[in-house]
Structure 1
Amino acid sequence: MEATANGWGALVSWVAGPANPCRRPAAAHDRHTEVLVMTNGANVRQPSMLRDADLASIDDDIDAYLAVAGVPPVPRG
C-alpha cells in the first residue's frame, strides 16, 4: 500500500520497521499536485508541477512532524 507523502505517512512507515517500507522515486513529470482555485464563485482544480524547492519544503515539514514524535528524519531524494 502506498504511504501518503506527509508526516503521518512517514510515521506509519517508520513504525512498520526498516524491512517493510520501500521507496520509489517519482519521475519529474509525475511530481504534481492539484491546486484548488476559486473562479467566479466556482471551485476549479488545476494541475501544478512540484519544483525541487517545493519538494524540499515538503520534506522539511515532514521532518519537523517526525522530530516532535522523536523519530529520525526521512532520507532525502
Structure 2
Amino acid sequence: MSRRPPPVWRELEAAGGSFALHPQQEGENSPAFELSFETTDSLESFQEKVQAAGFQPGTIHSEDYGRHLILTDPEGLQLRINEIA
C-alpha cells in the first residue's frame, strides 16, 4: 500500500470564499505571514486602483500557474493578489 504525500496546503471553504494555510517556505525563518486574495479584474487595473488609493503599486509576477501582484502594506507585510479568469 503506497501512501500519498500530505497536501501542500489546507483549504477551508465557506459561502463566498475560502481560507488556505500554506507551510512556511524553505529557508525562511521569519514568523511573518502573507495574505492572498483573488480578483477577476486584470492585475493592471487592480494596480491602478491601489495607486489611486495612495498606496505603492507593487509588482506583477508571471508564473507557470498564473499571474499575481505582490503588494507591501504600510507595516511591511506582503499581500498577494492572484488573477483568476
Per the normalisation by structure 1, the TM-score is 0.27
TM-score by length of 2: 0.25
More strand by share: 2
More contact order relative to length (CA 8 Å, sep ≥ 6) = 1
Would you tell me which structure has more helix in proportion to its own residues? Answer: 1
